[in-house]
Structure 1
């Protein structure tokens, strides 16, 4: 049972990294470590900032959807 949980945790970690689902968690950790007085944005605000930044970057290329 313990090894199954370990495998499932590994799969969950892999999928979150592959889909970049963990980006918000990394950003929050960075803010708390480097800028402890800064306001932590909500998940929705973070995704909006991220999307806006990607759309402004000409290296991102054409966005079809």
Structure 2
């Protein structure tokens, strides 16, 4: 039962993107331990800008 709950929690956090920041921080620290890590707010802002930004610059949703 505990294992099923842990799997469900993992699945939901992956589906909603909650783990994206933790993975990003891990990648930044792995690449360079002295590199500055952006705040979660800055990360989410950049992520949304990439997703829904100006389509002429490669962002946005394609039709």
Q: Which category describes the TM-score, using the shorter chain as reference length?
A: 0.7 to 0.9
Q: How many residues align?
A: 59
Runs of 4+ residues deviating >3 angstroms: none
Query: What does residue range 40-59 of structure 1 map to in structure 2 within 5 Å?
Result: 40-56=37-53, 58=55
Is there any run of 5+ residues in structure 2 with no aligned partner, and where?
A: none
Quickly say closer, same or farther: Cα 1:10–1:29, change in 2 above 3 A. same
Selected match of 1:32 from 29, 34, 39: 29
What root-mean-square deviation, in Å, do the aligned CA atoms of Structure 1 and Structure 2 show? 1.8
TM-score, normalising length: structure 2: 0.77
TM-score, normalising length: structure 1: 0.75
